[in-house]
Amino acid sequence: MELIGRINRRKIYYVQIRNNSEWKSSLPKNDWVAFTIADKEDEELVPPSVKICMDKNVSYTCSAGTLAHWTENYFDEEIAWRGGDYEMKTKQEFDYEKSPVTTAHKNFGEGFWFASTLAHDDNFDIDKIVCVDFTKRKVKKHLTDLIEKINNGWLPSDEEIELAQYDN
Q: Which residue ranges form the domains of the chain, and what is each CATH number?
A: 2-152 (3.90.190)
Radius of gyration of the chain (CA): 15
154 burial via Cβ count (<10 Å: 0-12, 13-18, 19+): middle
**Interval 45-87: pLDDT, tens:** 999 999 999 999 999 999 999 999 999 999 999 999 999 999 9
Please say whether the beta carbons of 36 and 138 come within 8 A: no
Question: Please, what are the averages of pLDDT over each run of 10 residues along the chain (168 residues)?
Answer: 95 94 93 95 95 95 96 96 94 90 95 91 84 96 96 91 87
- Angle of helix 140-151 relative to helix 108-117, nearest 10 degrees? 60
How high is the pLDDT of residue 160? 87
Helix (H, G, I), strand (E, B) or coil at 119: coil
